[in-house]
Chains A and B, each alone.
Chain A
Amino acid sequence: MANVLANIFGSSPVRPLEKHIGIAFSCAKQLHAFFAAAIKGDWEKAAVVRRQIEKLEHDADDLKKKIRLGLPKSLFMPVPREDLLELLLVQDKIANRTKDVSGIVLGRKLPIPADIADQFLEFVDRNVDAAKQARKSVRELDELFTAGFRGAEVELVTALIDKLDQIETDTDDKQAALRASVYAIEETLNPVDAVFLYQVIELTGQIADMAERVGRRLELLLSH
């Protein structure tokens, strides 16, 4: 039997969105273990981590579809539905990029030169940091909804996004430095591997870019 009061509430997208960024971050986090294995040339271990990445990316995708289905146009929400869907989309891309980058590395068993190994891992970790900060920011969504997107909570989220931007800038610097290091040893590398190494660096850097875009989307919500 249907009940009026129960049915006027649409399914809230807030907790599911927070859960989704959690999965996306867990996915990105696997990159440390993945590259650590790749650097050692332990491709068995890397394959195990890669399967975990695929599973998490898949989970994020499923949840993304579920959230979309739960957001029909007839919903009345404090913020535009489109903005929430955009946020969801960029959150999902964090997981997508993670899957892409691990796919290329594992598929080619791409060797990562020992000379740049530490620098490379540092760069990866910084990108994961950006995803983590994105998660921290998105996790404030329920508080933002409660406070009606005004007041002290907005300042708190703005500060979190500022920090996210700093981390992203840092990844950019690290990315430039890492490319320079690869360039310095380019002669010693297999040319095809070198090309792909640049591509892997580029794709990894996009994880922080997507995290930053999560911040931009959140900011848009704040301005309503």
Chain B
Amino acid sequence: MEAQVIYIALAALFGIFMAWGIGANDVANAMATSVGSKALTIKQAIVVAAIFEFLGAVLAGGAVTDTVRKGIVDSDLLIGSPELLVYGMLAALLAAGTWLFIASKNGWPVSTTHSIVGAIVGFAAVGIGVDAVQWGKVGTIVMSWVVSPLTAGFLAYLIYQSVQRLILRQEDPLAKAKRYVPVYIFLAAFTITLVTILKGLKHVGLTISLRDSYILAIAIATGIAVIGAVIIQRIEPDKKAEKNAHFYTVERVFGILMIVTACGMAFAHGSNDVANAIGPLAAVVSVAQTGAIAAKSTLPIWVLALGGGGIVIGLATYGRHVIATVGKKITQLTPSRGFAAELAAATTIVIASGTGMPISTTHTLVGAVLGVGIARGIDAIDLRVVARIFVSWIVTIPAGAFLAIVFFFIFKTVLP
């Protein structure tokens, strides 16, 4: 029994540390767009992020967590020696954490998701055997890393094009904004609630019929859109500020929309990234508790809550500084542009979460920003940085794998 306690304690420790790291660094990317465009103050962004990251993790994080904890390693091969999975998952957590630490010290734009998946594949392929990796699934995951930024970019392009056509290029953009922005609010709220209800809630133990799911999603989205519309109607044009920038008041209308998409972004981020921290933890917990590898084991909610809590703590202790720094640097993302990027990214991420794909939320957001850029929405995008992201994308997987292999053999020797 003693060994089991050590395993769970270690896994929980590493898992919380990882969640803390995600909250401290990655959440900034999800929230800074809203802070940079002044749709939210930093304090408001922290509150929104804390609530929706946690909700996203607990309500919609189940599928991705399942993929990370039992989708990559073929557990059939481990029935005789379940402790190997424990060592491996601990090694993966530590490897990903270490790699992220090294990367962020050096300013490399690496993804948490890529690190953890690389680490799990690494320990499984080398520590257990090449056959232990479910290569088909891994292939799908890697494909999703290519597809998700492209999808987000395409969606963002379409959304921003529609904003330009319907609102920004019109004679009276303010009136048009007041008319159409509630529709965008509805769309944002509808997509995110629907995917959550359809894909996420079964992990919490709720099952709702397809028809009821749509009705519920429409009802919730309409409610949010109506509240948004009421607030928007009360926005009065600021003639003085508009002398310098004609879109001043229009952007304030988009600011309301951005609050909604910021919630969606935090929710989406929580739903996908929580798995990076607690997928391995969940695997360790299920082995340690049962002493065996149970393919059908269900995911305990407390594990999701632990991950969500870790993200919130990371956000509160360190993340707010990062949000402030990043927010200052991305003022080009005015609400009309920022919402398009956020809505496209959040939609893509929530769908990925629903289908259990662990994707990089940051890369998806970068894809969305590029999409807005292609729609001639961004003043200047530095393509050198985009290229660097691509390179670190490729380097991260072997790096995470290598570290995981080293840690795996250390754990195998040291741990009981």
Secondary structure type dominating chain A contacts: loop
Q: Is the CB of A151 within 8 A of B164?
A: yes
What residues of chain A lie closer than 8 Å to B309, measured between beta carbons?
Answer: none
Q: A3 is contacted by which of B29, B244, B382 (Cβ under 8 Å)?
A: B29
Contact with A along B322-345 (1 / 0, CB 8 A): 100110011011101000000000
- On chain A, the number of residues with a Cβ less than 8 Å from chain B's Cβ atoms is 33
CB nearest neighbor in A for B329: A6
Decide if B109 touches A7 in the complex (CB within 8 Å): yes
Closest Cβ–Cβ distance, residue B392 to chain A (whole Å): 9
A78 at the interface (CB under 8 A from B): yes
Taking a contact as CB atoms under 8 Å apart, the answer to whether A4 and B29 are in contact is: yes
Q: Is the CB of A76 within 8 A of B383?
A: yes
B376 engages A78 (CB within 8 Å) = yes
Segment with Cβ contacts to A, from B3-11, B83-91, B165-173, B287-295 = B165-173
* Cross-chain contact of A2 among B107, B245, B381 (Cβ < 8 A): B107
CB distance from B330 to the nearest CB of A (A): 6
Flag A129-158 by CB within 8 Å of B: 1 or 0 each: 000000000010011011111111100000
In the complex, which residues of chain A have a beta carbon less than 8 angstroms from the beta carbon of B377? 78, 146, 148
Contact B246 A143 (CB under 8 A): yes
**In the complex, chain A residues whose CB is within 8 Å of the CB of B383:** 74-76
If A148-B168, A152-B171 touch, does A8 touch B385 (CB 8 Å cutoff)?
yes
B383: nearest chain-A partner, CB-CB: A74
Give A176-220 as 1s and 0s: 1 = Cβ < 8 Å from B's Cβ atoms: 000000000000000000000000000000000000000000000
Given A4-B362, A148-B169, A151-B164, A76:B332 Cβ within 8 A: no
How far is B379's CA from A142's CA once the two chains are assembled, in angstroms?
9
B365 interface contact, C-beta 8 A:
yes
| Residues in A neighbouring B382, C-beta threshold 8 A | 7-10, 72, 74-76
Does A12 belong to the interface (CB within 8 Å)? yes
Residue of B nearest to A154 (CB): B169
Q: How far is the CA of A142 from the CA of B366 in the complex (A)?
A: 23
In the complex, whether B117 has a CB less than 8 A from a CB of chain A is no
Contact indicator B169/A151 (Cβ below 8 Å): yes
Which residues of chain A are near B336, meaning CB under 8 Å? 146
Instruction: Determine how close the nearest CB of chain B comes to the CB of A156; give it in whole angstroms.
Output: 8
Complex Cα spacing A152 to B244, Å: 17
Q: Is the CB of A5 within 8 A of B380?
A: no
Which chain B residues border A78 with CB–CB below 8 Å?
Answer: 373, 376-379
Among residues of B, the one whose C-beta sits closest to the C-beta of A78 is B376
Asked if B109 contacts A4 (CB within 8 A), the reply is yes
Taking CB atoms, residues of chain A closer than 8 Å to B332 are: 9, 12
Judging by beta carbons under 8 Å apart, are B334 and A146 in contact? yes
Q: CB distance B105 to A1 under 8 Å?
A: yes
Instruction: Report which of B107, B164, B171 forms a contact with A1, defined as CB distance below 8 A.
Output: B107
Chain A residues with CB under 8 Å of chain B are 1-14, 71-72, 74-78, 139, 142-143, 145-153
